[in-house]
Structure 1
Amino acid sequence: MSVLQSQVDLRPYNTLAVSEQAEHLLVVENERQLLAAVQLASRNNWPLTLLGGGSNLVLAGPVAGLVVLMRSRGRRVLSRSSSMVVVEAAAGENWHNFVRWSLDLGLSGLENLSLIPGTVGAAPVQNIGAYGVEVKDVFVSLDALDRHTGAVVSFSLAECGFAYRDSCFKRAPGRYVILRVRFRLSLRPYINVEYAPLAAAWQATGLQSPDSRVVSELVCAIRRDKLPDPAVLPNAGSFFKNPLVSQAAADALLLRHPGMPHFPQPDGLCKLAAGWLIEQAGWKGFRRGDVGVHQAQALVLVNYGMARGSEILALAADIAAEVQQRFGVVLEQEPPLLGTLRA
């Protein structure tokens, strides 16, 4: 475990590049160090915050207590059948590197989730998803430390309570520390290219046989074209969830906006494209001081310099208010807040 640091600037540890202070900070590289950090926080009665890639959060103010940077590593094959393989990865593993490792083993299932920033441990919390695939689709189980009991417990697929960008871990923040996650992947190549831009890119290759590595490369190309690189222009990816509305509400909107993207869901609801709604409301490319809406993707808020979390949240609130006024649709912020909100 690293040396305990105090009053550490978290700007390098969040992809929105917001500058806020952590009261205390530790870097942990394995499970033993992580458990020691949790015990240290408990002994001192410090709030505990786990930070992986820092790619899905908004720093709204200074962070009290102990911030733990998750840097645990480890990937392995647990079991193999004639068609499936179960793999496990430590919570601190970089997600995209883990996806690439699975492809190197000839496994299919994670390719649509390529180039998503963050760590393996954060993936089930958010039930990350892209281009027609979510973590829950390949999830087997995970182990987590229950901070209420001090025991390490396992969670099955059903016990995680996965929903759209949601899980039981997100609904009980601070209680569980995810240690390792297991996935079931396929030895037999198959592809999911139902998402329109991905389908077009796949068709353009002319390939007739499934090739997961090619799909991964196409996904990476689409993401790079659509989303700004946080290392170049700080951002937290999609800032709003795609809203779910009743089919009746969607039909009413379609009468006024026939070209509105809409995606009927198995449960009878209809998913709308938040980016389209924001763009139609005139916010695409908008800038206010150091915070703005990306010029190519209205779903992404960016930090052009030294924007504060409060400035980012204020812009997000204005966007959501206008979308609700124009369309009657409520937008929900995707990245959670971290830190004591500044007045």
Structure 2
Amino acid sequence: MLVQSNVSLRHLNTFGLDADARYFINVQSVDELTAVLRDPEWKGTPKFILGGGSNILLTQDIDALVIHPGIKGITVLEETEETVVLAVGAGEVWHDFVMYCVDNGYGGVENLSLIPGTVGAAPMQNIGAYGVEIKSVIESVEAVDIESGEKRIFSNAECEFGYRESVFKKALKHQYVITGATFRLSKKPVLNAAYGDVQKTLQEMGAENPTIRDISEAIMQIRRSKLPDPAEIGNAGSFFKNPEIPVAQFAQLRETFPEVPGYPVDAETVKVPAGWLIERAGWKGYREGEIGVHARQALVLVNYGGGTGAQIKALSEKIQASVADKFGVRLNAEVNFI
């Protein structure tokens, strides 16, 4: 195993920010991971886990041993006429895994097409899009304790999934390295095309009896039309979570802003699109030097090239203050600040 020093992380974060790791290692297996975690040479060195870097904002260099889990592989563990259970390595590219499922007729993740990042990061964030969250298909998550090097299997319930949350972002933050996950997918899927954009795109495609491939293609068309490609403009997708507010607060908000959209979460809570709030607060298309807010999607903060994480963080705080002042709603970042 090769541990490198002073390694640029520009290629490992989708904002394309220039930050360095004091030490860096790419582990290719669970055994390699446990070996480095138990190595006396690195025992006292702080550890930082970095996958595809699609949901982080690097505001500084990382004075730690940065571990990049490159664990690959997709294995069929169990299969019936109805379902299939797959074990997937944390280092697999998420979208590649989705395409593998689509190609094989395994339904359940097609609505999550084109989400950047790795399989290992997906359960940490409980990634979701267009009516589907990953918690609905995950059976378990395999992880290694950073301190002891011991392996542990977390059941779906033990992952404590919430809206863009999991136990790995809360109670067990920085305590485990996710090395893989198992997914139960359907061979006779029930499609989720409830979102208006998805229905409209399927109609434009002429997909009268859509398949999971049609859903996937529709999602990709929508995402490409709304979101910038990180390879062309640095970004991390949705920067803020959609705020969930009490029904009474939403009713008051609608008295002042009758056009504000809202989607019931339950009997007591309504979800308001953060992008709508940011756009109505005047930030869509805003540019400040080499950073800004995307011209087509106000929920996306961008680095045009040469911006810094500190500048993007400062801009996000201005947006939060502006939205809170105008609407009385607090936006919380979906992106993790480092």
Distance (Å, rounded) in 1 between the aligned partners of 2:37 and 2:94: 23
Q: CA deviation at 1:238?
A: 0.5
Distance (Å, rounded) in 2 between the aligned partners of 1:82 and 1:152: 32
Distance (Å, rounded) in 1 between the aligned partners of 2:162 and 2:326: 27
Relative distance call for 1:189 and 1:306 in structure 2 (3 A) is same
- Look up the match of 1:112: 111
Q: CA deviation at 1:44?
A: 4.1
Q: Does the residue aligned with 2:168 lie in a helix, a strand or coil?
A: helix
1:221-255, CA deviations, whole angstroms, 9 ceiling, x for partnerless residues? 10011100000000011100000000111111111
Letter in 1 for 2:292: G
1:41-78, CA deviations, whole angstroms, 9 ceiling, x for partnerless residues? 87441111111111100001010110112211100111
Distance (Å, rounded) in 1 between the aligned partners of 2:215 and 2:239: 25
1:57-102, CA deviations, whole angstroms, 9 ceiling, x for partnerless residues? 0001010110112211100111112211111100111000001111
Relative distance call for 1:36 and 1:150 in structure 2 (3 A) is closer
Give 1:1-343 correspondences, 5 Å limit.
1=1, 3-40=2-39, 43-171=42-170, 172-266=172-266, 268-338=268-338
- Give the CA RMSD over aligned residues: 1.3
Letter in 2 for 1:147: I
TM-score (norm 2): 0.97
Distance (Å, rounded) in 2 between the aligned partners of 1:125 and 1:23: 24
Q: CA deviation at 1:178?
A: 1.0
Q: CA deviation at 1:104?
A: 1.4
Distance (Å, rounded) in 1 between the aligned partners of 2:30 and 2:336: 25
Relative distance call for 1:61 and 1:68 in structure 2 (3 A) is same
Question: Are the equivalent residues in 2 in contact too, given 1:41–1:66 (CA < 8 A)?
Answer: no
The unaligned stretches of length 5 or more in structure 1 are 339-343
- Of 202-211 and 190-199, deviating more is 202-211
Letter in 2 for 1:170: K
Letter in 1 for 2:249: A
The unaligned stretches of length 5 or more in structure 2 are none
Distance (Å, rounded) in 1 between the aligned partners of 2:238 and 2:72: 27
Question: Are the equivalent residues in 1 in contact too, given 2:38–2:148 (CA < 8 A)?
Answer: no
